[in-house]
Amino acid sequence: MPEQKPARLITGRFPDYDVLSKRRTPSWNDKTREVIARRLAVSPDPKFFTADEYKTVEALAARIVPQPMTRPAIPIAALVDEKLHLGNQDGYRHAGMPREDQAWRRGLKAIDLEAELAYGARFRDLSADNQDLLLARMQKGELTAADWGSMRPNIFFNTRLARDLVLAYYSHPTAWSEIGWGGPASPRGYVRMDFNERDPWEAAEVSDGDVEDARRKNRRVGSI
């Protein structure tokens, strides 16, 4: 499989830092490389969600975790779909909540029903403002459509919707590059452990406005 790379981040707190430049360095072991390769190759074609459900998840992700237009988007819906398709469970759930796959199906159906009742259209077809208003009501537990059943909408929002979408976002190397994280530190680990000390294979954050210094250090991360 050819190696895939997110677009290098030119600006931001960690300019020119690309965590995937560490792929063939001692920072990552073979297991990490294998896991990340699978994550980068996740299919955009849904395997768990129906086509309609998948579009709703994409619309929800766009409101919960909006992404910049300056780089390729992290495939949040695809990552959640893959997790549910593989049956990867958290191993616990809130009292009254069904299993994750059942909770998602019930929640998506209820969200579209709430959107139809409030605005006469499916969630994905609403304006961004109306989508946000509906999500705010869900978070407060104010939605009451029958399709929620015994599942409380605010619990679904907190334990499935927001949680799963945010975790999917931050499971992707593009997000790691944005926050300056180096991925699992195995086998190399870290050496300089005191406050504000940085190993040369870690991302450099812009300090005192010196973007060029951070950029110069970040370009070397994958060569060490």
Reported as a single tens digit per residue, the pLDDT across 121-174 is 999 999 999 999 999 999 999 999 999 999 999 999 999 999 999 999 999 999
Same structural domain, 149 and 211:
no
Task: Quote the pLDDT of residue 10.
Answer: 55
Query: pLDDT category, 11, cuts 50, 70, 90?
Result: low
Angstrom distance (rounded) from CA 177 to CA 18: 5
* Residue 182 within any structural domain of the chain: yes
Q: 31 lies in which domain range?
A: 19-41+178-223
**4 lies in a domain?**
no
Residues 114 and 193 in one domain: no
pLDDT of residue 28 exceeding 70:
yes
Amino acid at 202: E
Q: 5 falls in which pLDDT band (50, 70, 90)?
A: low
Q: What is the DSSP string of 87-119?
A: T---S---TT---HHHHHHHHHHHHHHHHHHHH
Does the residue 92 lie in any domain? yes
165 and 205 in a single domain? The answer is: no
Q: pLDDT tens for residues 44-73?
A: 999 999 999 999 999 999 999 999 988 899
Q: Give the burial class of 115: count Cβ atoms within 10 A of its Cβ; 0-12 exposed, 13-18 middle, 19 or more buried.
A: buried
Judged by average pLDDT, the poorest of 4-13, 57-66, 80-89 is 4-13
The mean pLDDT of 7-36, rounded to a whole number, is: 87
Q: Is the Cβ–Cβ distance between 65 and 167 less than 8 Å?
A: no
5 CA to centre of own chain: 16
Residue 204 lies in a domain: yes
Proportion of the chain above pLDDT 70, given as a percent: 95
Q: Name the residue type at position 128.
A: A
Listing DSSP states for 70-83 in one string gives TSPPP-HHHHHHHH
126/163 same-domain check: yes
Number of domains in the chain: 2
pLDDT of residue 2: 44
Burial zone of 153 (CB within 10 Å; 0-12 exposed, 13-18 middle, 19+ buried): buried
pTM equals: 0.90
| 32 occurs within a structural domain | yes
Residues 61 and 157 in one domain: yes
Is the pLDDT assigned to residue 35 strictly greater than 70? yes
Same domain, 65 and 149: yes
Q: How far apart, in Å, are the Cα atoms of 170 and each of 31, 116, 186?
A: 19, 31, 19
What pLDDT score was predicted for residue 22? 93
